[in-house]
Structure 1
Amino acid sequence: MISKIKILIPILLIAFISGCIEKIKSPVMPVWDVSYSIPVLNKTEVVIDRIKGEKGIFIDSTQNLVLKFDSTEMKTKSLDEIFGDNIKFDEEFSIRPQNVDTLIFESFVSDDSVYLEELHLYKGILTYQVENRLNKKVDLYITIPGFTKIVGSSVDTLKFSMVVNPNSSVQKTIDLKNYHYRITPNPFGGSNYGFHIKGYAKIDAGYSGDSIKTRVKIDNLGFNYLKGKVKPYKDSLKTKTEYLDINQDAKDILPKIQVYGAKVVLTPNTSTKNLEVQLKDFQVVGTFKNSSQKKYLKIKNQSILDTIISLDRPSIEFNIDDVAINEFLSPQVPDSVTYSGKIIVNPNYKSIDITLPDSIKFDVRFVAYSIFRIDNASRTDTIEIDLKDEDKDQLNKINGGSITLEIDNGLPIGFQITGYLLDSLNNKLLYFTREKGTGDASDTVFSITPAIIDNEGKVTQSVLQKKILTLNKDEIEKLKRMKKAIVRVVYSTTNGRKVLLRANDKIRVRLTSSVSLRVGE
């Protein structure tokens, strides 16, 4: 324990400067020297070395740090399901014979909101229903010119026939699997995109009655390819919850600082690029493990976001107002973030040309650059000390000592450290943080000046400081009674300004100790 005592001050100090200095091993002091001086530490800590392997922290191409909470994927149903659920055709028409045995007829099946130029189907059903209101049998021969299917080496057009007895109904169902469709002219003029149906009916002689009524339905469609105009269709994004995988220290300190430059990033993860979607009722909600409280992150000053985005963009970024992000993180950082919303496909009713099946998918990520401002944020820790009898015996040999601490601070953060020792009754023994190093009653705070920064908050020059801390014989005696160390650190960025902590920022600490020993003991 004697080595721990001799370096207690630098260990505590350095640990709270960088939060990451490794435990220092001091050499055993030779008993035959009256005084002894030795370098204990000469180490440089670079930010990039401390964040290696840390979850959620990345470095961009300009050496800026990016804090990224784990991304999650939000997606809709497959697009062919969305289109298949909504693109349907249902048309009725009547054939009225005029004293002829063979009647040629044409019709056009369409939907005023859907204009299809071409499609490839992996499934679909065409239902052709005929009600014969005549008193004679009717033979029907139907052709739908736009629908074709490859059979062997030939391309076959969709054709079928039906026999309908007098005053009865018949239904024929056609499997549209592997059929392709290309637009055919509307025989009745106009610009509607739909399905042209033509055919002829042979009617037994001597008929009487009203008409032949026909109903055509096309539904349960599954698309491999779709070209044309479709109306806007809505679908829900599957709600996803992602836990914030950051350590407790970060959760404790985030509410005490002002964060800048946060954003929500959506990265489309879909092969369909030439398609617009409307992100509707999109919310980012913070939730807590031990509370029903919810916090709604405001984007564009709204807790519910509605916006139109194009899937051909590599990413879509929504900047978060600085006030909004700090309200979201304070006074307590949420344990998890839930993303929810809806999607409206093709909201502006544009022509589309897409290959299916595919889904609209986004990787959603909550991002913040390491841009922040700290104005006297504080943290207090208690360290238990267990001093054994043999350690106290070693302390008896020490007349006094000093520690020379040289700090070259290249971080845009300054520290004011107050630390003192307590005995078993929690009586204060002494302050081991000394600006002047002499132990005066008013000398209780150890200050480390932050680096010099430019207008962007980036470090331009480190600040070199040298401190000498001394302990006399009376103070050495007090060390034998120490049971706890209380350390309070107050953090501030340079001049209380907004700063940018970068991967290559660093702090160098050089430590030399000098101890005066009793000779011959």
Structure 2
Amino acid sequence: MASKTGVFSGLLLLLFAGCEVKEPIAPVWDVELNLPFVNRTYTMKEIVERDTSSLKLRSDTAIIVYEQTQELNSVKIENRMTLDAETKNIKTTVGAIKVNTVASISDEIKMTQWLNVTPGQQQVVPAVSNTLVVQDMKKITSFEVAEFDAGTMSLKIRNENGPVSMTISRVIIRAAKNYSYRGATIAENTRLLTDNTTFTLNQNQERTLVFALTGQKLVDSLRVEVLLSSPGSGGNTILVPANPVTKITADFANLGVSGVKAIIPQQNPIVKSDVIKIDDSTQYTQIKFDSGKLDISVKNSIDMPLQVTITVNELRKPDGTNFSQVVNVPAKGTGTFSIADMKNYSLNSGGVLKNTVTYQASAVNTVQPGVTSTLLSSDSLVSTISMNNLVISTITGKVKPVQLRVVESNIGINLKDLQGKFKFGKLDLADSDIKLLVQKATSFEVRFTGKLRGTNGTQTAELDLPVTVMGAGLTTMKLDPVKVETFIASFQNELPNTMTVVGVTTLNPNYKEGTADMVDSVYGMARLDFPLHVGITNGSFTDTVAVEFSSDDSSKIANSNTADITMKIENGMAAGVTLGGKFVDGNYNYIMNMIPKNTGNDSLVVIPGAAVGPDNKVITPTNKDILIKLVKNDFKNFTRVKYLIFDMKVNTSKPNASPVKFYPLDKLKMRAFGKFSYKVDPGE
């Protein structure tokens, strides 16, 4: 056995000794590499979850709803409840004038004033005929000058001249001195009263003359002028009394003074009340004011100072007490009083619905000892009350219908670009539900009128809101879906991204009784509820996906020069898809179309929508395979690709883009993989 081994070894040595030894050469062969580089599924649920602020899921099997809720700007009553109170002038006159009691005044005409006799002696008394006798009366202390609209002065004449008769044929009452009264002069001896009655008075007889004073004037110093005749003693000697006189006594009764110049005593209060209308329409049982001004002016044409007490029966001060105010008014002057801010003042009618207040002015004069004033019964006191800019804080009653204000509430919506992907060219909103849910704090009804205004930035359209009168509780204003559809259709190319509720609110439009506060408001929300039951024409969806290869795969692709790209698209949505796009590098620079325009390949691919059943749910998805062959420059460009940006145009499956429903699990699935050919060279 050993000899055989040795022989074999020797043969090998001879073999190798006779040959040149070289390095071995590795074989080279072609290899196909299949690499997936896009695998993406888009579900409606995913789209919804990207924008949970507007798209809502009821459940995984429920229909997708586009929902937007936005609080409306509240409309407060604020300073819209106002009163237009009339300015009222209330005039009152002094009326009956009180003077101090006019006492009787007496005086005597001595016999010696009209006969030449010696009192207390026996003598013959001569006869006289039509002798004028004048006697000044004692002074009246109650007035200096007075004029009367009622009353009498009684003048009693008594003969105490002894056994001598006298016949009086005329009595005149005159002013005993000069007077100034009401800008005129009453001169001395001015005739004031006259009596032409003829009568005879025997010894100790008396006669009373009654003078009506209506329309007459008297002064404090009166002069009595008597025209008399006497037969004397008839030639006989008689004893003349020691004090022969004719006594004169004046009494005053039932005086009605219409004017006086005097030291004015305390008068009866001058009282006047009237009703002031605070508004033509607003009626109240209670009102509290937020602001306003009360001005009271008292003009005094009377020649004496007054204290005027002003009351408004229904008006309450902020502390709840009745309003009463004393205004001091100078003689022939004006006094004023103002409440600059009536905040927290209130009116209380005592439960009776009314639109007036009762205003009263009560004036008393200030007595001025030693000061003479002139007073006429026709002298007036004019009080003016004005209530301006009255703003109601709270009211119970019937407030006049009043427009509060125009309010605008913007509702930011994403119909223009749902989460940045879908853009609708046409939208069928047959099942849309747009509601305004509003409430009010006041018990009064509120009428709401307005518009829904939409804009996409370049176009604006308006939709009239239904006129609604809000009663108690929540009021729902639902927009007619047909009108909504027409409204949306007026936008071309891009749907609105903002809607604005423009409304006008009117408080108490039907003039009913209730309660309101200026802080009460009309408030609520707008809810846009669009089920994705839409017809879409040329709606677009854009996304960017990474083209992902490992570094090892990338080096292999670099050795390739051709590739077959297969794209598999499964459309599980009720919308046809037109697909196109572009490949870009890491800086998003364009490299090539997603589907190059090689022979047999269009740059856009149409994938029909899935078949849907009667309930609009997808029953059979549509599949589409696309084969793309990349050679030469297209292939070289492809090796630099980092991202695929694709665009889908969406059209609903039903004829004429009729509406369909979208559900959360509706999906579009897209996969792409490539078959790359490259040479394997182990020596490299």
- TM-score normalised by the chain length of structure 1: 0.68
Match of 1:374 among 529, 536, 539: 536
Q: 1:460 aligns with which of 617, 641, 646?
A: 617
Report what 1:47 is aligned to. 44
Residue 118 of structure 1 aligns with which residue? 286
Bigger relative contact order (CA 8 A; separation at least 6): 1
Task: Tell me the CA shift for residue 426 of structure 1.
Answer: 11
Structure 1 equivalent of residue 517 of structure 2? 355
Instruction: Name the CA distance, whole Å, in 2 between partners of 1:398 and 1:443.
Output: 22
C-alpha separation in 2, matches of 1:355 and 1:326: 39
Q: 1:44 to 1:220 in 2, by over 3 A?
A: same
Q: Does the residue aligned with 2:337 lie in a helix, a strand or coil?
A: strand
User: Aligned partners of 1:241, 1:313: CA distance in 2, in Å?
Assistant: 21
Task: Indicate the residue corresponding to 1:129 in structure 2.
Answer: 297
Judged with a 3 Å threshold, the aligned counterparts in structure 2 of structure 1 residues 464 and 255 are, in CA distance, closer, same or farther, namely: closer
Matched, 1:506 2:666: yes
Structure 1 residue 364, shift from structure 2 partner? 5.4
Cα distance in structure 1, aligned partners of 2:528 and 2:32: 57
Aligned partner of 1:11 in structure 2 is: none
User: Which residue of the partner structure matches residue 56 of structure 2?
Assistant: 59
1:179 CA drift (Å): 3.2
* Residue of structure 1 in register with 2:635 after alignment: 480
Where 1:50 maps in the other structure, the secondary structure is helix
Per-residue deviation at 1:220? 4.0
The one-letter code matched in structure 2 to 1:118 is: Q
Alpha-carbon shift at residue 507 of structure 1 (Å) = 1.9
Where does 1:76-91 land on structure 2 (aligned, <5 Å)?
Answer: 78-84=76-82, 86-91=83-88
Question: Residues 285 and 297 of structure 1 are in contact (CA less than 8 Å); yes or no, is this contact kept in structure 2?
Answer: yes
Task: State the shift of 1:250 in Å.
Answer: 7.1
Please report how far the alpha carbon of residue 338 of structure 1 lies from its aligned counterpart in structure 2 after TM superposition: 5.3
Tell me if structure 2 keeps the 8 A contact 1:72–1:364.
Answer: yes
Check 1:421–1:217 CA distance in 2 against 1; reply closer, same or farther (3 A cut): closer
Structure 2 residue 650 is the aligned partner of structure 1 residue 491? yes
Aligned residue number for residue 139 of structure 1: 307
Give 1:353 shift: 0.7
How many Å separate the matches in 1 of 2:271 and 2:581?
A: 102
Partner of 2:330: 165
1:195 aligns with 357
| Offset, 1:198 | 4.0
Question: What SS does the aligned partner of 1:258 have?
Answer: coil
- Secondary structure of the 1:298 match is strand
Q: 1:481-517 deviations in whole A, cap 9, x for unaligned?
A: 5569996744221313212334x34327485968586
- Confirm or deny: 8 A CA contact 1:56 1:70 kept in the other structure: no
User: Structure 1 residue 214 and structure 2 residue 383: aligned?
Assistant: yes
* AA at the equivalent of 1:284: R
Aligned partners of 2:468 and 2:477 also within 8 Å: no
Unaligned runs of 5+ in 1: 1-30, 434-438
What corresponds to 1:394 in structure 2?
A: 557
Matches within 5 A, 1:291-370: 295-299=460-464, 308-310=469-471, 312-319=473-480, 321-333=483-495, 337=499, 340-361=502-523, 363=525, 368-370=530-532
**Equivalent residue for 1:181, pick from 331, 343, 347:** 347
Distance, in Å, in 2 between the alignment partners of 1:340 and 1:307 is 14
Which residue of 2 is the match for residue 276 of structure 1?
A: 446
AA aligned to 1:145 is: N
Segment drifting more, 93-102 vs 510-519: 510-519
- Residue 4 of structure 1 corresponds to none
Q: 1:181, 1:161 → 2: CA distance?
A: 20
Q: What SS is found at the alignment partner of 1:297?
A: strand
Match status 1:93 vs 2:93: no
Q: Quick check: 2:446–2:505 contact (8 Å CA) kept in 1? A: no
Relative distance call for 1:420 and 1:246 in structure 2 (3 A) is closer
Q: 1:107 corresponds to which residue?
A: 274
For 2:263, the equivalent position in structure 1 comes to none
Tell me the secondary structure at the aligned position of residue 98 of structure 1.
Answer: coil
Aligned-pair identity (%): 14
When residues 50 and 128 of structure 1 are mapped into structure 2, their CA distance, relative to the original with a 3 A threshold, is same
- The CA distance in 2 between the partners of 1:114 and 1:121, in whole Å, is 14
Three-state SS of the structure 2 residue aligned to 1:52 is helix
Aligned equivalents of 2:452, 2:592: Cα separation in 1: 53
Would the alpha carbon gap of residues 482 and 284 (structure 1) be closer, same or farther in structure 2, given more than 3 Å must change?
A: same
> Would the alpha carbon gap of residues 421 and 277 (structure 1) be closer, same or farther in structure 2, given more than 3 Å must change?
closer
Aligned positions of 1:410-421 closer than 5 A: 411-417=573-579
Point out where structure 2 has 5 or more consecutive residues left out of the alignment.
1-27, 98-267, 368-374, 585-589
CA distance in 1, matches of 2:57, 2:88: 58
Amino acid at match of 1:83: M
How far does residue 341 in structure 1 lie from its aligned partner after superposition?
Answer: 5.0
One-letter amino acid of the structure 2 residue matched with residue 450 of structure 1: A
Shift of the 515–251 alpha-carbon distance from structure 1 to 2, 3 Å rule, reads closer
Whether the aligned pair in 1 keeps the contact of 2:618 and 2:666 (CA below 8 Å) is no
Q: Provide closer, same or farther for how the CA distance between residues 505 and 487 of structure 1 changes in structure 2, counting only shifts above 3 A.
A: closer
Match of 2:455 in 1: 286
Distance of 1:374 and 1:337 partners within structure 2: 21
Q: C-alpha separation between the residues in 2 aligned to 1:441 and 1:44? A: 24
Report the Cα offset of residue 92 of structure 1: 3.1
- CA–CA distance in structure 1, aligned partners of residues 302 and 45 of structure 2: 88
- Letter of the structure 1 residue corresponding to residue 345 of structure 2: Y
The match for 2:109 is: none
- Deviation string, structure 1 residues 154-173 (Cα, Å, up to 9, x no partner): x5222222232333322212
SS of the counterpart of 1:279?
strand
Q: Is the 8 A contact 2:461 2:491 kept in 1?
A: no
Q: Within 2, Cα distance between the matches of 1:142 and 1:371?
A: 73
Deviations 1:452-472 (A, max 9, x none): 143xxx54344244555556x
SS at match of 1:167: coil
